[in-house]
Amino acid sequence: MDLRQLEIIRAIADTGSFTRAGARLHVSQSAISRQILLLEEELHEPLFLRFGRQVQITPAGEALLQLSNRMFADIRETCATIVDRQKNLSGTLNLVGGMTVCLYLFPRLLKEFRRHHPDVEIRIATGGMQRLLRRLRSGRADLALLTLPVNEPGLTTVPVLREELLLVMPPGHALERVKHPLDPAALIGEPFIIFEAGSNTRRAIDDFFLREQITPKVVTETENVEIMKAMVASGLGISIVPFQSVAHETRSGTLSVARIRGQQLVRETGWVYRTGERVPRVVQEMMATLTRIAPQLQLSAESRPAIDAEPAIAAHRRRKSG
């Protein structure tokens, strides 16, 4: 058995005919028949049943067809990897992420990426979770950085960051004068400006309210964290947001933050991409760039280090190769 014979099996299965398989591979129909006969004699099993001009693959032929698909996929992937290593990255990467990611993480990430790969054109899109997942599944996006969990068939997730969620309030707010960390009961009756329902960040916040048996007084729901901060600074309510979105305001004194006693409010962010035979090099390089800059990101009030994504990426590759 050799690769040429496996290629012939694929051609017959694809075209449904020995004659059309020969035309695809630029050989005669008799040459196709001869190679199939040799294989059938070697295996002592028929590979195709002939019904006039029609053929039907047998279980033995189906097993060889699957082997052929795996082997040629491995060949394509190996060749593409070798070619990738020989050239500078170029082309287009369609990258998507939520509002907070686009505002506070993508600028630093893309600046670092462009420093190493100036020939790659990067296109950014943002929106709600379901809209971004549709872009991924349809192929209009190559890579997403989203709040986890994302449990969607056909998509692979790689956790990258754990961001602390903190209570944010205007300077001089009554809760500033309460002993910190705050007792959850101190939040009862406070007006809240929070993320829209449906996002994973909102689910984490709702889970906290449920655990503490708090019915929040929600005055505004929005996905735009800049709107949330402006409304909090104006005294219209308090909020719970990722620390990196208010790190600047905390340093300048225009907003105050506090932790809640007995709670570790965090959200996990990760890469999401279509599950397939091969992760393109440009996607791998973008993921590696975030791993490189992650220790510089302000993800909590103490700037705890982010998760290193490389072990998770390597583990995913081992599972696929196994």
Contacts of 72 (CB under 8 A, 6+ apart): 6, 7, 10
**Residue 16: C-alpha distances to residues 50, 52, 73 (Å):** 10, 12, 21
Smallest CA-to-CA distance from 282 within 136, 101, 81 is with 81
Q: According to CATH, where is 1.10.10.10 located in the chain? A: 3-85
Q: Tell me, what's the pLDDT at 316?
A: 47
pTM above 0.75, yes or no: no
Fold of the domain built from segment(s) 163-266: D-Maltodextrin-Binding Protein; domain 2 (3.40.190)
CATH 3.40.190.10 boundaries in the chain: 93-161+268-295+303-321, 163-266
| pLDDT by residue, tens only, the chain of 322 residues | 889 999 999 899 888 889 988 998 999 999 999 999 999 999 999 999 988 778 899 999 999 999 988 888 788 778 777 766 656 888 889 999 998 899 999 999 999 999 999 999 999 999 888 999 999 988 889 999 999 999 999 999 999 999 999 999 999 999 988 888 899 999 999 999 999 988 889 999 999 999 999 999 999 999 899 999 999 999 999 999 999 899 999 999 999 999 998 877 899 999 999 997 678 889 999 999 999 999 888 777 664 434 444 444 454 455 444 4
What dotted CATH number matches 93-161+268-295+303-321?
3.40.190.10
CATH (residue range 3-85): 1.10.10.10
The residues, ordered by sequence, that sit 6+ positions from 57 with a Cβ below 8 Å of its Cβ are: 12, 13, 47, 48, 65
Rounded Cα gap, residues 55 and 33, in angstroms: 12
Predicted confidence at residue 296, as pLDDT, reads 86
So what's the pLDDT on residue 304? 41
Tell me the Ramachandran region of residue 202: left when phi exceeds 0, alpha when psi lies from -120 to 50, beta otherwise.
Answer: alpha
- Residue 105's nearest CA partner among 75, 146, 72 is 146
